[in-house]
């Protein structure tokens, strides 16, 4: 790969009243190719209200909005697709939906699961955590996985999870997309944080 990765945003797990302005500031400052609504809640009303807010902002900037797992909400809320944290339902969903809605698949650290997701009709696969994470199993999607995927498989790949500048720099030639979420939203100035994290792309 010779091109730098494109930027993919993941919302924080909770969206407050100030999120619309913070999201708009990030989209003003950076070229974002996708926004993923990834809330901790399973309350349909809260998800709906957050989706309405994010959709209005994202579509104003021509950025597609997808939602984690809640495939049944995609058509009803005017979203652009779904990101499956468990891709076992992917093949049926692709058959039911046809080619247009985005379907992404999170495959952890498994090359095999990624290949199965691609065969089932995924538009991209995501591996992670790409950085060093203290939660979960502690297993990491190593740079070598992304390098192998980018050399051998045409399907786009997303790196996500516990990303810091050093990891992003190591991945700069190995992944199609860098997905950032809490890495920027946990700061006072998400747009500036995104600028700092993506500095390796501009050096």
Q: Are 130 and 110 in contact (CB under 8 A)?
A: no
- At 25-74, the pLDDT tens digits run 999 999 999 999 999 999 999 999 999 999 999 999 999 999 999 999 99
Average pLDDT over residues 187-196: 96
Q: Which residues contact 163 (CB under 8 A, 6 or more apart)?
A: 130, 131, 178, 179, 180, 183, 197
CATH of domain 6-202: 3.20.20.70
What is the Cα–Cα distance from 84 to 136, expressed in whole angstroms?
Answer: 18
The tokens describing 20, both together, are 């619309």
Question: Could you give phi then psi for residue 99, rounded to 5 degrees?
Answer: -80, -15
Q: Are 58 and 88 in contact (CB under 8 A)?
A: no
Q: What is the pTM of this model?
A: 0.95
Rg (CA), the chain: 16
């Amino acid at each position: 790969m010779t091109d730098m990765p494109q930027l993919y945003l993941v919302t924080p797990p909770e969206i407050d009243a100030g999120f619309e302005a913070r999201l708009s500031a990030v989209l003003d400052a950076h070229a974002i190719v996708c926004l993923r609504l990834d809330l901790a809640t399973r309350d349909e009303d809260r998800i709906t209200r957050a989706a309405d807010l994010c959709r209005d902002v994202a579509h104003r900037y021509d950025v597609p909005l997808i939602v984690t797992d809640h495939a049944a909400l995609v058509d009803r809320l005017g979203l652009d697709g779904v990101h499956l944290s468990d891709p076992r339902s992917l093949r049926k969903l692709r058959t039911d939906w046809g080619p247009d809605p985005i379907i992404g698949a999170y495959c952890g650290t498994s090359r095999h699961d990624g290949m199965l997701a691609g065969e089932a009709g995924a538009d991209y696969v995501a591996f992670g955590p790409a950085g060093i994470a203290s939660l979960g199993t502690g297993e990491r999607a190593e740079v070598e996985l992304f390098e192998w995927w980018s050399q051998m498989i045409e399907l786009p790949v997303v790196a996500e999870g516990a990303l810091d500048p050093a990891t992003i720099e190591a991945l700069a030639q190995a992944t199609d997309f860098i997905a950032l979420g809490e890495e920027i939203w946990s700061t006072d100035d998400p747009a500036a944080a995104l600028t700092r994290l993506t500095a390796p792309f501009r050096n």
